Amino acid sequence: MAVILLLGFAMELRAAEPVTIVAGPMFTVTGKDEITVWLQTNRPARLRFETHCHWMGKDDRDAFDAAASNRSCVTLKLKVRAGAIYGLKVYEKQTASEASTANAEPIICLAYRCPPPDGKSGLSTFAFGSCSHQEKFGDSQPIWTAIAKERPDCFLFIGDNIYLPNRASDYQATREEVLRLYCDTYDRERRVPEMQSLLRSTMSFALWDDHDYGPNNSDRTWPWKDVALEALKLYFPNNYGLPDAPGCYYRFAWGDIDVFMLDDRTYRDPNRDENRTTFLGARQLAWLKDGLAASKSTFKLVACGNQILSDTHPHESWGVQFRPERDAFLDWLWEKKITGVLFVAGDRHFAELVRKPDPKKRGPDLWELTSSPLANDHYKDGPSFKNPERVACYAGGVNYGLLEFNTVSIPERATLSIKDVKGATVFQRTITLQGQELGEPPSTRKPPAPDLPPR
């Protein structure tokens, strides 16, 4: 009887605990003139969201009620005006029927900028990174503070955003237990204090790699892939995949930049399979090619957890285990003469910039910027693997990538940078739509001159 009374008392204390936001708000683009707001509270709660936008001399105000229930998370879709700045206030509602927040104090108050109209030229900044281990560096991951100071328009989480157990035998037996494992792991990383300022000041987008999909080097045979997708949708809400081909791939536009986020796990043949043929799967590959061919945007950014262009190392990449499929894709790109295609990747635990020219000189040079890790051990020996197409590299510690697009300049340009934990630029290159470095004569191709990593 005493145990029951104590449990009841503890539940009353928990119910009386003030509602706080432990993660977010985080913002993402989920449709034309639509963004999704996500946040997580310290306990289940009723919330009211109030938005405010001053537009064309008028004040647009709206209010929405939502419940923080599933893992105390809230996902709310909002219709917005392209390019507008909105104010957002979040309140706790004491009762479902409570109608006014006039005399209440908001839990949080902030502003966010909506994406520019599709196709609009301008200046924009994308930051990205991979490999953030929830157990590394204690409760502090300072890289997020450096990224937030960049004030990027978008941040791309491009895989290994959490670290699940490395071996299949370390996973529980039931779906409910496995889902709890995924969510507990997301909770730990998502609540890192330094991450909050970044989530609240930019638009966030995510894809997965092996460690947030399943065990190390996992592939299409992983039996809990549906659990991985359910957890991803809970913590990174977006419109993933196609009705007949699920996965974590999708596309979004930011002005005149089209971004293609790829899924390198759901349809991947096992690396150990001697008869392996596909990295993306036929349906996703067709979706990617159709999207690139139809895109009218100045730049087309392709993000993937594994590297796409690098192919001279013993680790995972499209060009190592699946080179025939990768080479056929690159041949297709060059035959179509599609300009402005850039690749970003993660996974390698060091940073690398690769330039791959078309051996038949049909199309522009292709560039891939790899950034890794955000919060994990760095691989100081990464640059020891020879890569004749490497332009620059960094293996001195945690890092993030920065892409600065200028589509109003002549010629249009993109500046590709890697920055360290303090936000200092480690290396940087500016390229044009034709894959040439800015100022480089169009008819010449510089031999790679690798940057040496600091000792």
d(CA 149, CA 217): 33
Token pair 């450096």 in the structure block, residue: 146
Strand order through the sheet with 123-129 = 73-79, 34-41, 21-31, 203-207, 154-158, 123-129, 399-406, 413-420, 425-432
Task: Render pLDDT for 133-148 as a digit per residue (tens, 0 to 9).
Answer: 999 987 789 999 999 9
Confidence at residue 80, expressed as pLDDT on a 0 to 100 scale: 96
Q: Cβ(259)–Cβ(298) under 8 Å?
A: no
Distance CA 351, CA 139 (A): 24
pLDDT of res. 289: 98
Q: Quick one: the chain helix, strand, coil %, rounded to 5?
A: 20, 35, 45
Q: What is the mean pLDDT of residues 247-251?
A: 98
Full set of structural domains in the chain with CATH: 2-113 (2.60.40.10), 123-432 (3.60.21.70)
User: Residues 286, 293: contact at Cβ < 8 Å?
Assistant: no
- What is the reported pLDDT for 8? 43
pLDDT, residue 16, reads 61
- Per residue in 333-346, pLDDT tens? 999 999 999 999 99
The closest of 196, 60, 35 to 116, measured between CA atoms, is 35
Cβ 319 vs Cβ 279: under 8 Å:
no
Q: Which of 92, 51, 84, 89 is nearest to 68 (CA)?
A: 92
Position 447 pLDDT exceeds 70: no
- State how far Cα 71 lies from the chain centre: 22
Q: What is the pLDDT of residue 249?
A: 98
Parallel, antiparallel or unpaired: strands 413-420 and 425-432: antiparallel
Inter-residue contact 210 to 160 (CB < 8 Å) = yes
Q: Compute the distance between CA of residue 411 and CA of residue 266 in angstroms, rounded to an integer.
A: 38
Give 441's pLDDT tier (boundaries 50, 70, 90).
Answer: low
Q: Could you tell me the pTM of the whole model? A: 0.93
State both tokens at 166.
């490395």
| β strands within 276-433, DSSP E | 299-304, 341-345, 351-356, 366-370, 390-394, 399-406, 413-420, 425-432
Are 143 and 130 within 8 A, CB to CB? no
Instruction: Tell whether the model's pLDDT for residue 28 goes beyond 60.
Output: yes
Segment 193-217, tens digit of pLDDT: 999 999 999 999 999 999 999 999 9
pLDDT in tens, 363-401: 999 999 999 999 999 999 999 999 999 999 999 999 999
Pairing of strands 154-158, 203-207: parallel
Q: What is the pLDDT of residue 129?
A: 98
DSSP 8-state code for residue 19: P
Tell me the CB-side half-sphere exposure of residue 199, using CA atoms within 13 A. 22
**How far is C-alpha 101 from the chain's CA centre?**
35
> What is the rounded distance in angstroms from the CA atom of residue 368 to the CA atom of residue 390?
10
pLDDT at 5: 40
**What 8-state DSSP symbol labels residue 263?**
-
Q: Express each pLDDT in 81-114 by its tens digit.
A: 999 999 999 999 986 566 666 668 999 999 999 9
Q: What are the φ and ψ backbone dihedral angles of 157, each rounded to 5 degrees?
A: -85, 105
Max Cα separation, the chain?
Answer: 86
Considering the chain, what is the average pLDDT of its residues?
Answer: 92
